[in-house]
Amino acid sequence: MRGRVLAVAGASAAGIIASEDGRRYRYGLPDLRSAAPQAGQDVDFQPGADEAREVYLIPGSMPVVVQGPKRDWVAFYMSPNGRVGRSDYWLYGFLVLMAVNVVVGWIPLIGQVVSLVAAWSGLALMIKRCHDVDRSGWWGFLPLVPLLLAVVGGIVAALATNGAPGYAVAGVFGLLWFGASIWVVVAILARRGDAGPNRFGPPPVTEL
């Protein structure tokens, strides 16, 4: 199959090839069977599930400037539609929103408004991260179920004469909440997204 190199492979980073059928494939240095191609050069390769093997530089292929689409930052932070790659989620999503809350979250009124906007943005990005691994956004809310039950159990235990059973129930659901949270991080937030298009749209251009 023929394709064009979008990102060059390095010792610690995978390269990306855009194929003629519109899909993107990752490749590494061990997959090269000729001189290392530059970004924009055409190559021939054997496609796998989401990886390119037996990558050959097409003789005479000249590198061209690969222009990527401009990012719509408003849609990136505010829209739950589409997909977002794990690198963008952690760098431009999680870390940026956390920094914004730390810097302006203490300011009266303004900090409250910013916190509400940041909370919605965090939810939108989490939903798009679910989409990137071909899961419904509802999976991201999975930890809320045992968390709410744990809170209810704790309240009932505090109001009851004998609160031991209620605290035991709250403890069990607390453990379930912890397990569900770990699953969301490992299976969704930290997982590499689908290489090609899925039911939620094309792959993010900047996915690593």
pLDDT in tens, 32-76: 999 889 888 999 999 988 899 999 999 887 776 555 556 788 999
- CA 57, distance to chain mean position in Å, is 31
Q: Which residues pair with 42 in a beta bridge?
A: 4
All residues at 6 or more sequence positions from 195 whose CB lies less than 8 Å from its CB, including other chains? 23, 24, 25, 26, 49, 50, 51, 203
Return all residues near 126 (Cβ < 8 A) that are at least 6 apart: 137, 140, 189
Any idea which residue has 């496609």 for tokens? 47
**Residue 207: predicted pLDDT:** 44
Dihedral class, residue 57 (left if φ above 0, else alpha if ψ from -120 to 50, else beta): beta
The mean pLDDT value for 171-189 works out to: 92
Q: Is 189 helix (H, G, I), strand (E, B) or coil?
A: helix
Instruction: From residue 180, give the alpha-carbon distance in Å to each of 83, 89, 184, 185.
Output: 22, 20, 6, 9
Band (pLDDT 50/70/90 cuts) for residue 208 is very low
Q: What is the mean pLDDT of the chain?
A: 87
pLDDT confidence tier of residue 150, bands split at 50, 70 and 90: confident
Q: Where are the alpha helices (DSSP H) in 1-159?
A: 73-78, 86-88, 95-104, 110-132, 144-159
The pLDDT confidence band at residue 139, using thresholds 50, 70 and 90, is very high
- Contact residues for 8 (Cβ-Cβ < 8 A; gap 6+): 15, 36, 37, 38, 39
Residue 178 has pLDDT above 90, yes or no: yes
Q: Which tokens sit at 125?
A: 């990005």
Taking the C-alpha atoms of residue 125 and residue 140, their distance in angstroms, rounded to an integer, is 10
The pLDDT of residue 203 is 80
Q: Sheet containing 2-7: which strands, arranged edge to edge?
A: 24-27, 15-19, 2-7, 42-47, 52-57
3-class secondary-structure state, position 158: helix
Q: What is the mean pLDDT of residues 173-178?
A: 92
Model confidence at 155, pLDDT cuts 50, 70, 90, reads confident
Domain map (residue ranges) of the chain = 2-57, 74-132
Return the CATH number of 2-57, one of 3.40.50.2300, 2.170.120.40, 2.70.180.20, 2.40.50.140. Answer: 2.40.50.140
Could you tell me if 51 and 35 are in contact, meaning their C-beta atoms sit under 8 angstroms apart?
no
Residue 67 is predicted with a pLDDT of 54
pTM: 0.64
